[in-house]
Structure 1
Amino acid sequence: MLLRQPTSVSEAQECLAQGAVPVGGATLVWATWQRDGFPDLAMSLRGLPEATAVEAGSLGAAVVLNRIGDRVPEVLRRAAGSVGTGAVRRTATVGGNLVGSSLRCLLPAALVLDARARVLGPDRPYETDLAEVMAKRHLLLGLRWHTPLVSGYRKQPAEAGGPPPLVVATAVHADGGGRHRLRVAVREGYDVLSESTACDAGADEALDTLERTDIGALPAGTRDVVREQVADILATLAGR
């Protein structure tokens, strides 16, 4: 297998045109390749500056999870820190987790940040929403988001080899008029859903509104965790 490491977007486009298979940290595909055979040509984005940036409002797709520190919101930092073992986090990448993994541990955090994805199209890079990235498995270059006032993340304990653990991510954003909006994302099994609501009237009203969305159809135990997380995040906001 020949591994290319482009250092510019144009070089990356050339690699794609030649049929290169994009890889992140290869933590998810290595076993499959050993079983089914390695591709002739693969491509890593770790030499591409746009894909390796870690900034206050953006994160590159080739960033390994253990590099995600205090420059990103708490919800994203905690999501990255909950993935696998330390050895996994030293090699697994943002793009690999979001696009290459069925668990997509970072997706709830990205959704509550109202993140947009920058992807590499056949002609040029462009920005799109996360739903399109998940559906079409685009080559992700990075994420950009709106920095929240507060955010939180909770991942329930789970047995190794069992069903994916429940994840609840929350964030509160301010609009141009100073009003606050709560975003909640839940991973239940392999499914991820997200909702948002105004929250200036307090936790009870925000939760009543969320109960009338798809969140209200989740199992009772899951809704209990959502209620706890919403109450905690709004209490944190009130204490600021």
Structure 2
Amino acid sequence: MLLRLPTSVSEARQCLADGAVPIGGATLLWAAWQRDGFPESAMSLRDLPEANRVEPGALGAAVVLHRIDERVPDVLRLAAGSVGTGAVRRTATVGGNIVGSALRCLLPAALVLDATATVLGPDGTYDTDLPEVVAKRALLLGLRWNTPLASGYGKADAAAGGPPPLVVATAVHPGPGGGRRLRVAVRDGYDVLDAGVPCDGGAEQALAALDGTGLAALPSGARDMMRRSVTGILAEPHGR
């Protein structure tokens, strides 16, 4: 297998045109390739500057999870730190987790940040939303967002080898007219649901508003964890 390492977007486009398979950190692909056979060529974005940023408002798709630190909001940092073992976090990438993994541990965090995704297509780069990236399994180059006032991430305990653990991500953003808006995303099983509501009236008012969204369909255990997370984030000084 030939591994190609483009250093520019134009080189990456040519790799795709030549049939190279994007691999991220290859943590999810290696076993399948050993079973089914390796592709003729693969492409890693680890040398592409646009895919390697770690900044207060941006995160590249080729960044390995253990590099995600206090430069990004708490919700993303905590989500990355909850993935697998230290060995996994040293090889797994942002793009591989969001697009290539069925678990998508970072997806709830990115959703509550209202993150915009930059992807690489046949005609160049363009910006889109995360649901489109996941649905089309697009080649993610990076994420951009506006820094929230406060954010948080919680993952329930789960037995190894069992179903995916419940995840609740929250973020409070400045709203129109000086108000505030709460964003919540919940991973229940392999499904991720998200919603946004005003939160100037406090936790109970925000939770009542969330009852009018798709999150109302969550099972009782997930709703209980969501209630605790919302109450906690809105009790923080920056969340009030």
Alignment partner, residue 212 of structure 1:
212
CA contact (8 A) 2:149 2:239 kept: no
For 1:41 and 1:238, locate their aligned partners in 2 and report how far apart those are by CA, in whole Å: 48
TM-score by length of 2: 0.98
Deviation at 1:237, TM superposition (A): 3.6
For 2:52 and 2:184, locate their aligned partners in 1 and report how far apart those are by CA, in whole Å: 28
For 1:179 and 1:209, locate their aligned partners in 2 and report how far apart those are by CA, in whole Å: 15
Counterpart residue identity of residue 67, structure 1? R
For 2:131 and 2:227, locate their aligned partners in 1 and report how far apart those are by CA, in whole Å: 25
For 2:176 and 2:238, locate their aligned partners in 1 and report how far apart those are by CA, in whole Å: 19
Counterpart residue identity of residue 39, structure 1? P
Displaced runs of 4+ in structure 1, greater than 4 A? none
**Could you list the runs of 5+ residues in structure 2 that have no partner in the other structure?**
none
Alignment partner, residue 115 of structure 2:
115
Counterpart residue identity of residue 217, structure 1? A
Alignment partner, residue 56 of structure 1:
56
For 2:124 and 2:78, locate their aligned partners in 1 and report how far apart those are by CA, in whole Å: 32
For 2:191 and 2:239, locate their aligned partners in 1 and report how far apart those are by CA, in whole Å: 33
Alignment partner, residue 127 of structure 2:
127
Counterpart residue identity of residue 154, structure 2? R
Deviation digits for residues 179-224 of structure 1 (CA, Å, limit 9, x no counterpart):
1000000000000000010000111111011112111111111111
Deviation at 1:177, TM superposition (A): 2.2
Deviation at 1:176, TM superposition (A): 4.7
For 2:88 and 2:195, locate their aligned partners in 1 and report how far apart those are by CA, in whole Å: 30
CA contact (8 A) 2:185 2:194 kept: yes
Q: Does 1:157 align with 2:178?
A: no
Alignment partner, residue 82 of structure 1:
82
Kindly tell me: are residues 238 and 104 of structure 1, through their superposed partners in 2, closer, same or farther at Cα, counting changes over 3 Å? Answer: closer
For 1:177 and 1:56, locate their aligned partners in 2 and report how far apart those are by CA, in whole Å: 24
CA contact (8 A) 1:149 1:237 kept: no
Alignment of 1:169-180 (within 5 A): 169-180=169-180
Kindly tell me: are residues 115 and 238 of structure 1, through their superposed partners in 2, closer, same or farther at Cα, counting changes over 3 Å? Answer: closer
Deviation at 1:238, TM superposition (A): 6.0
Deviation digits for residues 136-175 of structure 1 (CA, Å, limit 9, x no counterpart):
0110000001210000000000001100000000000003
Deviation at 1:58, TM superposition (A): 0.3
CA contact (8 A) 1:25 1:92 kept: yes
**Could you list the runs of 5+ residues in structure 1 that have no partner in the other structure?**
none
For 2:171 and 2:97, locate their aligned partners in 1 and report how far apart those are by CA, in whole Å: 21
Counterpart residue identity of residue 64, structure 2? V
TM-score by length of 1: 0.98
Aligned residue pair count:
240
Counterpart residue identity of residue 66, structure 2? N
